[in-house]
Chain A
Amino acid sequence: MIPRNVQITLVLLLIAILGSGVYILLLHRNTEEGLRRGSDQRPVAAPVAGSDETLKLTIAYDEDGVFRTRNVSTVVPSEPSARAKAVLEALIGYYQGKPSPHELAEGSAVNGVFMVNQKLAVVDLNQALAEGHRSGVMVEDFTVISLIDTLASNVPQVQQVKILINGKERETLAGHADIRSMYSTAAIHKVVAQLQ
């Protein structure tokens, strides 16, 4: 007959052995998962090939109703379409900082910029930028002017700009500013000069 105290000790030991086994099993799985993740060499984003450059951004200041030039440093690709997209992303990024002189809707982004004949840039903005844009003559105009003038300042070969929203033509940005027309960068620059 096994004494009662020995029985209790044996049960406790058995529970400890089983618990340790389960713990070791979980530890093993976690280690395997970590190793698998660490060894995944697939690329998740295209590498930015280019040099660090200072970009000239035409920034709209709603409060004062003027444009001011601001310089930012960023890595810019040399290929014209990618460069144009990077320039506009830098501008939108500037507006999305806090505090912003000209707020854009959350999630605003550039889907892509397509260069045609090196002179015409077709800028495709995403739905969030247009749908969430504040409605008003000046605020809408400021977005359009700021985008085009910034593009023209940093991709000088661009002479004309056409804006699309999610790949489609649209009459106005949010009810006022004309985005159906093809913009001449010279016309835009003239207006910026008036409002500086």
Chain B
Amino acid sequence: MHGFRICLLLIAYCLLLFFLPASAAEPDKLSVYAPQARFSIPVLTLDGRQYVGLLDLVEPLGTPELKSEGKRWKLRVADPRSSGKFAEAEFEQGSATAKVRGRQNTLSAPARVENHRLLLPLHGIGTLLIPLLGTDVTFHEAARRLFLGGTASAITTELRKGEPSILALHFAEGVNPNIHSEGNALILSFTRDPVVSFTESQALNDKLFSGSAYEEKNGVATLTINAGAPLLAQFADNGRTILISAAPAPPTPNVTASSPSTPQTQPSTESGVQPLGPGEAVLPGALPPPVRRPATPPFVVVIDPGHGGSDTGARITPNLPEKEITLSLARKLRQELQSRHIAVSMLRDSDSDVTLEQRVVATNLARPSIFVSIHAEPGDSLRIYTPVLPAASETSLERSSFLPWQSAQGAFSAESSSLASAAAGALDKRKLNAQVRPAFLQPLHSIAAPAIAVEVPADSKGAKIPGDGLAGALADAIAARKPGGGTQ
């Protein structure tokens, strides 16, 4: 009897484990697109109404100050319309009235405070942001997509008829959608790109393409291209164009089975779930997989803009902290890498606090091919650092085994050194002299990938090295390591 009860408990536990992930819905979020930052913030549902944290919303847009005095909350943000001035707003817990720039505004529901956070109702948030930020606001409330400062840009489609036809999607700026396929449909999900479409569905009346459907939901815009055969997506024009065409016929089962080392022309369909950048140029439709081929891991570069938030880094001048230079250079490097069709992940894209441990966790979870940390200091020399472990081990670590947290970099030391030399060589080609040096630098010790740090000399005007030249040279060195030659 006792054994039977244990069995029942075990079965119930297994069922719970089985159903738990399936029932866990994606949390509600609001995607915000502003000229200075693109981000998503959580949306809370309280008493049937949706709320967002005020500081969550305005913090990435500048450096706001939010102070509470009892039930009253005062917000002060830099006025984007006149530099050196500030816009102020006042809110009261439990009150649906707010004072913005001295004028009364009515909220759709009373402001709330939960866990010391001031929450404002999502419904009608745009009417509050227009006077506060002094900018255009377009709010797709049902889809929870907020466009500030006229960032929204329409997708235009161009069908190039032929044998076979090609569908070109044009965007105002480079995009970085997540692309995957379901049957013969190719699905592009835009989370960080402020793209919109004026038509929900479009018939294409082509032999290959039957039509397209556009949908916005929970902060994400999704464009589905339906076709009569598996499709392939390729990026062009620095990510401003996506060319969709028929996927080449899959290799015969016998060929694939007999030669597993045959270079793959297409990654497996599983790659569709990875966050892909413009560099992931080829994305297939569902091909009948007679034999499962080993998936090629995507080539991803993680960029770590040093410091951020309360950690300012070195003071280049009293008003210019290191964190600003590192972020600016990181963005340039991302742009250069994406123009070479290399997927990039940034550890921060705004002035936010990210601890060293969080940087390591995010990097190692992304399983990057290369990690680049960016730093700046008041000086004259450009330096590239290769990580050295504080506790040198005579025996080298094997990548196939578990890597110790403190010294995971030990398994990649040789590749890190080689990458540093290649980066110095690429800089030299652009007449930029860089020293390669060893360093006991955090968080590189725990990074499970070839890793380097770049320290740029800076003064009151910012980096002394031209950012484009530096980023271009680093991107060249990284692209050369991409399997298949990097650039396409």
Contact = CB atoms under 8 A, between A and B. Distances in A.
B356 A171 contact: yes
A186 interface: yes
Interface stretch (A26-34, A35-43, A108-116, A133-141): A133-141
Contact of A194 (B406, B438, B441): B438
Interface stretch (A9-17, A69-77, A174-182): A174-182
Contacts of A48: none
Given A135-B315, A138-B383, A171-B442, A181 B406 contact: yes
B453 interface: yes
Contacts of B322: 135, 175
A183 B441 contact: no
A136 B383 CA distance: 11
Interface in B313-333: 313-315, 322
B442 A178 contact: yes
Contacts of B392: 184, 186-187, 190
Contacts of A136: 314, 375, 377-379, 455
A89 to B, nearest CB: 23
A184 B377 contact: no
Chain A, interface size category, equals: 20 to 34
A195 interface: yes
Given A171-B356, A176-B375, A181-B406, A137 B390 contact: no
B445 A178 contact: yes
Contacts of A139: 377
A24 interface: no
B389 A175 contact: no
B457 to A, nearest CB: 10
Interface string A59-95: 0000001000000000000000000000000000000
A144 to B, nearest CB: 6
Contact of A178 (B311, B315, B381, B390): B390
A196 B307 CA distance: 30
B441 A137 contact: yes
B51 interface: no
B435 A137 contact: no
B391 interface: yes
Nearest to B373: A137
Contacts of A183: 390-391, 440
A77 B389 CA distance: 32
A25 B354 CA distance: 70
B312 to A, nearest CB: 8
Contacts, number: 86
Interface residues of B, number: 31
Nearest to A182: B391
- Chief secondary structure at chain A's binding surface: mixed
Interface string B380-403: 010101001111100000000000
A172 interface: yes
Interface centre among A177, A181, A184 (most CB of B within 10 A): A181
Interface string B434-455: 0101111110010000000101
A195 B386 CA distance: 14
Contacts of B307: 175
Nearest to B314: A135
Nearest to B391: A184
B385 A182 contact: no
Contacts of A175: 306-307, 311, 313-314, 322
A137 B383 contact: yes
Nearest to A194: B438
A160 B390 CA distance: 10
A136 B458 CA distance: 11
A195 B313 CA distance: 25
Contacts of B455: 136-138
A187 B442 contact: no
B439 A137 contact: yes
A136 B314 CA distance: 6
A138 B437 contact: yes
A58 to B, nearest CB: 15
Contacts of B439: 137-138, 141, 176-177
A4 B379 CA distance: 86
Nearest to B375: A137
A144 B388 CA distance: 13
B311 A187 contact: no
B354 to A, nearest CB: 13
Q: Which 7 A-B pairs have the closest CB atoms?
A: A187-B392, A135-B314, A136-B377, A181-B390, A183-B390, A178-B442, A184-B391
10 contacts: A65-B437, A136-B377, A137-B453, A141-B441, A176-B439, A177-B440, A182-B390, A184-B392, A187-B388, A187-B389
Given A137-B375, A137-B385, 20 more contacts: A65-B381, A135-B313, A136-B375, A136-B377, A137-B377, A137-B383, A138-B437, A145-B440, A171-B356, A175-B307, A176-B375, A177-B441, A181-B391, A183-B391, A183-B440, A187-B389, A187-B391, A190-B388, A191-B438, A191-B440
Interface of B: 306-307, 311, 313-315, 322, 356, 375, 377-379, 381, 383, 385, 388-392, 406, 435, 437-442, 445, 453, 455
